[in-house]
Structure 1
Amino acid sequence: MAHLGHSIAMHNNRLYFFGGIKIDPIENTANSTNDLFYLDLSVKFNLDSKEGLPWVDLTNKSGIPVKSSWSTVSLGGENSSTFYLIGGTMKDFYTSEDVNDTVIYAYDLETGLWSIPDLIVIDKDSNEIDLTKESTLQQRDYIQRVVGAQSVHDELGTIYVFGGTQGPNANVNFGDLIIFDSKQMIWDIYNGGEFLHTRVGFTATLLSNGIIIYIGGLLDDLGNSGNLTLVEMNHIWTFDTSTHKWVLEMAEGESTSGRYHHTSVLTFDGLIIVYGGINTAKHAASPDIVVLDTIVYPLQWIVPDVDETNKPASRALHSAVSVGTYMLIAFGNLTSKTSPPSTPVSDIHILDITNYKWITEYYPRSPSIFSTPNVGFSFGIQLCSQKNPRKYVPSHHTRGPDI
């Protein structure tokens, strides 16, 4: 069944799917879910096989405690054994009423149990730890501000959450950056909206040198006017996780059209593949695939020559993950060049990123070259770094204000 607004995350050779809005075309219904299932990437499979794909459903045993959609999920905790589901819309499983008592849930991969972690909040005005501010995370603005945010995580268990909006139909958007130490349980709120503006529908990619690259999406120059415009694709905002400084990089290369609700994945050789999305007319972004080369400086946009054989229909609001020499895309809403997205789907497609051919056969790879995924749902999602040597270093002439 088709899903939108879900979250995905990788652990070892399992691609986990969390929540989302389940679309039933027969009943003509769309409902948030507490689904938890994964695609087993340790085994070979064929997309055309009658046996189906190696899905494993954990919902009955370990379903999310609430109906969840538009959240972001990152891996952290001791031994990187916990998924943290952050923000989004959370509704009571039985009544469908809004759940406002937490901004985060933790899923223990070893026990299969969910919990609400106790957090230490750092006041973003005084920059001091305030143990009395437990109620801060229960306030509506802090819960809604991460609806559709993007998160990435590093190998030390630090999770960086940026952007998002107050709700699917709200005009209140955010440019804050949250730095969450998932081992010390410290929730540190930075304010970056003064120079980054607010942003939704973008993607985030953490490179191996600790620099986060933000691509595309919509921004509101005036803060919360609701007047959203496409981010120019050659305007690449980056955040250095070691210095906590923002840098605006100007990418060069081939011309690429602005887009949102797309996905971005980092390949084993330092390329970022951007797939799908829509423009401000809500028509399909063109071309489907553009690539940002992070090995060179300045950063370069490339439009690869993609084989049309087995090419899937264009889409937005989908998921994507880089696995060795493959990019897998999942679900989403089909798009066209003349009309808004209108057809939710539940399919999987595989791109061989060594030759840009769409293939139907998947062969498992070593867990060491699995990357963390990215979801291009309505307001944004997550990605993580892969180990690869890189030549790119941030410039200094376009540096933004220190945080």
Structure 2
Amino acid sequence: MCSNHPRRQQASTLVDSRLYFFGGGTDTIVSSEVWYLDLSSSFNISTPSWHSNVVMPVGYNFGTSCLSPIDNSTVFLIGGRTWIANTNNFSYTSSVYKFDSKVSQWTTPTINNFNSNFTSRSDIQAVIDNYGKIFIFGGSDYINPTITPIYNYYNDMNTLDITNMTWSTQTQSQSALTYIGYTATLLPNGLIVYIGGSSGSSTSVRVNNISQIQVFDTKFYVWSTKPISGSTIASRRYHSAVLTQDGNIIIYGGSTLDSSGKIVYVFSDVAVLNTNSWVWSVPSATSASILYTNNIYILDIQNYTWVTTFNIPTTTNPAKQTQSNGNSSTDQANNSSSNLYIGIGVGAGVVILAVVFFVIGFFIFKNQHKQEIIATPGTFQGW
């Protein structure tokens, strides 16, 4: 994320103390670059410690990524739109890539029973459980950017078991909504909470009611709807979400679009969903709406104020990572002695040592003394 290349629509994953960003769109191209933010030491937002890494096989945006709980070093890049590197030419290539962060190497895995309809699937959020099973719901495909775009919208639940690289697809009933541009957050009890986004078809798309939340049970493969009370939260899509260790999901930003797909309004608010009581609340923190940025923003969630410094705890032990979410969405790791929690944001953002990171680029920092959210390069208008 050098100073000349602000971007959005990237995927991101926290690996150890490195927060990786994959691809993303700029004003002119879809990038194949890989950058990481070094979170092993404190820094001021004016001088973040960015480092470049080996480039991706393709340009990449609108996808999602998950960290393997098996080795805590392999990143799976799922779906998204792929492009011939550093161009705006669409590439009909693999929908799954593996990145070995130990040796900075990309490979294309062989997958059993792959769903051919998943090729070029985008606008999705994946989560991964402790056993290495990735869950991806819905999404859309973008066929050709040079003609009138052709979109198909989906409501299937796709899973990839990374222990044996086997794919399976559960077709939903016609009554199940298609979902795009949502956030997905995996709770410790195995429920995936889907917030916001849009539903419909290629001819009619509507923003989902954020006070009626769809929940998927990964143990029994059944859906339910949770009516949400509390504060009124505007419906939106392409926002960010992270999970805290006390069962709250914090969302940030997002946008609304008109019938032609153009952005109508960009949100700068923060909202908190208590998944124990299913109640929305709204803290006072807001930030300016920005089209593109390569800045980093940190939110202290003890008092919901924006701060300028990311501070490493004075004593830390390696956190045992127990994936409980995946984007977009929120993998958690905890360490009982230092009380560190790691969260990973959807789509564009992720988390760090004791910091939860939002899709657009946020972290929530959590330790015995401080809780922070970090907003990193991305766009505050969504993806």
Q: How does the TM-score come out when normalised to structure 2?
A: 0.77
Cα 1:268–1:72 shift into 2, 3 Å = same
Distance 1:264 1:73 in 2: 14
Cα 1:45–1:31 shift into 2, 3 Å = same
The answer to whether the 8 Å contact 1:239/1:246 transfers is yes
Of 198, 208, 222, the residue aligned with 1:218 is: 198
1:251 equivalent in alignment to 2:246? no
Of 48, 54, 57, the residue aligned with 2:52 is: 57
Distance 1:42 1:115 in 2: 27
Distance 1:349 1:104 in 2: 31
Of 99, 103, 118, the residue aligned with 1:142 is: 118
1:289 equivalent in alignment to 2:270? yes
Matches within 5 A, 1:40-119: 40-48=38-46, 52-58=47-53, 62-76=54-68, 78-93=70-85, 97-119=89-111
Distance 2:361 2:194 in 1: 11
The answer to whether the 8 Å contact 1:70/1:147 transfers is yes
The letter of the residue matching 1:262 is H
1:179 equivalent in alignment to 2:151? no
Cα 1:170–1:267 shift into 2, 3 Å = farther
Of 98, 121, 141, the residue aligned with 1:166 is: 141
Cα 1:287–1:361 shift into 2, 3 Å = closer
Cα 1:284–1:94 shift into 2, 3 Å = closer
Corresponding pairs, count: 319
1:37 equivalent in alignment to 2:35? yes
Q: Which residue is equivalent to 1:373?
A: 345
Structure 2 residue ranges without an equivalent (≥5): 320-333, 335-340, 350-358, 367-383
The letter of the residue matching 2:19 is L
Cα-to-partner distance string for 1:147-203 (whole Å, 9 max, x where unaligned): 121101112111111121111743311111111101110111111262322111111
Q: Which residue is equivalent to 1:202?
A: 182
Distance 1:90 1:356 in 2: 37
**C-alpha displacement of 1:81:** 2.4
Cα 1:202–1:381 shift into 2, 3 Å = farther
**C-alpha displacement of 1:94:** 7.3
Cα 1:284–1:269 shift into 2, 3 Å = farther
**C-alpha displacement of 1:381:** 9.4
Distance 2:87 2:45 in 1: 38
Q: How does the TM-score come out when normalised to structure 1?
A: 0.73
**C-alpha displacement of 1:287:** 6.3
Matches within 5 A, 1:228-243: 228-243=205-220
Distance 1:293 1:214 in 2: 14
Of 274, 284, 290, the residue aligned with 1:305 is: 284
Which structure's residues are more often helix, by fraction? Answer: 1
1:7 equivalent in alignment to 2:2? no
Distance 2:292 2:361 in 1: 21
CA RMSD of aligned residues (A): 2.6
Distance 1:19 1:96 in 2: 13
Cα 1:201–1:95 shift into 2, 3 Å = closer
The answer to whether the 8 Å contact 2:82/2:93 transfers is no
Q: Which protein is bigger by CA-based radius of gyration?
A: 1
Matches within 5 A, 1:309-348: 312-314=287-289, 334=290, 343-348=291-296
**C-alpha displacement of 1:283:** 3.5
Distance 2:97 2:267 in 1: 37
Distance 1:32 1:285 in 2: 22
**C-alpha displacement of 1:101:** 3.9
Of 13, 16, 20, the residue aligned with 2:20 is: 16
Cα 1:77–1:101 shift into 2, 3 Å = farther
Distance 2:361 2:187 in 1: 13
The answer to whether the 8 Å contact 1:45/1:53 transfers is yes
Cα 1:198–1:104 shift into 2, 3 Å = same
Cα-to-partner distance string for 1:13-35 (whole Å, 9 max, x where unaligned): 22110001123xxxxxx201111
Distance 1:14 1:376 in 2: 15
Distance 1:363 1:95 in 2: 38
The answer to whether the 8 Å contact 2:59/2:86 transfers is no
Distance 1:381 1:119 in 2: 30
Cα 1:206–1:241 shift into 2, 3 Å = same
**C-alpha displacement of 1:290:** 1.3
Distance 1:154 1:266 in 2: 14
**C-alpha displacement of 1:271:** 1.0
Distance 1:94 1:289 in 2: 34
Q: Which residue is equivalent to 2:369?
A: none
Cα-to-partner distance string for 1:327-354 (whole Å, 9 max, x where unaligned): xxxxxxx2xxxxxxxx321111011111
